[in-house]
Amino acid sequence: MNNSALYAAIDLGSNSFHMLVVHEVAGGCRTLAKIKRKVRLAAGLQADGSLDAASLQRGWDCLRLFAEQLQDIPADHIRIVGTATLRLATNIDHFLHQAEAILGHPVRIISGEEEAALIYQGVAWTSSGTGRRLAIDIGGASTELIIGDGTSALLLNSLNMGCVTWLSRYFSDERLTEANFEQAIAAARHVLTPVAGTYLKLGWQGCIGASGTIQAIQEIMISQGEDELITLEKLLRLKQQAIACQRLDQLSLPGLQADRVSVFPSGLAILIALFDLLAIEEMVLAGGALREGLMYGMLGQRQECDARERTADSLISRYQLDRDQAERVRRTALKALQQVASSQPLDASANAMLAWSALLYELGLCIEYKRAPEHAAYIIHHIDLPGFTTAQQQLLGALLLNQRDEFQLAALEQQSAIATEQAILLARLLRLAIILCLRRTRGTVPEFQLVANEQQLTLTLPANWSKTHHLRASELQQEAKRQTALGWPLVIEERS
Name the strand (E) or helix (H) holding 476: helix 470-485
pLDDT at 14: 87
Q: 421: helix, coil or strand? A: helix
Q: What is the pLDDT of residues 154-178, one digit of tens each?
A: 999 999 999 999 999 999 999 999 9
pLDDT at 302: 46
Please list, in sequence order, all residues whose beta carbon lies within 8 angstroms of the beta carbon of residue 323, skipping any fewer than 6 positions away.
316
pLDDT at 301: 54
Q: Which long-range contacts does 255-258 make (Cβ < 8 Å, 24+ apart)?
A: 255/216, 255/219, 255/220, 255/221, 255/222, 255/223, 255/224, 256/216, 256/219, 256/220, 257/216, 257/219
b/e map 128-145, b = 16+ CB within 10 Å: bbeebbbbbbbbbbbbbb
Please name the residue ranges forming H helices in 156-231. 163-170, 178-202, 212-223
Q: Which residues of the chain have pLDDT under 50?
A: 302-303
What domains, with CATH codes, occur in the chain? 3-110 (3.30.420.40), 113-290 (3.30.420.150), 307-443 (1.10.3210.10)
Q: Strand order of the sheet with strand 143-149? A: 152-159, 143-149, 132-138, 206-209, 284-285
Q: What is the pLDDT of residues 64-75, one digit of tens each?
A: 999 998 998 999
Count of alpha carbons within 13 angstroms of residue 64, beta-carbon side:
7
Please list, in sequence order, all residues whose beta carbon lies within 8 angstroms of the beta carbon of residue 414, skipping any fewer than 6 positions away.
394, 398
Other C-beta atoms lying within 10 Å of the C-beta of residue 163: 31
Sequence letter at residue 243 = I
Longest CA–CA span in the chain (Å) reads 88
pLDDT at 292: 85
- What gap in Å lies between CA 230 and CA 207, rounded to an integer? 10
* 407 φ/ψ angles, rounded to the nearest 5 degrees: -70, 140
Return the ∠ at Cα 249 (arms to 246 and 250), rounded to 5°: 50
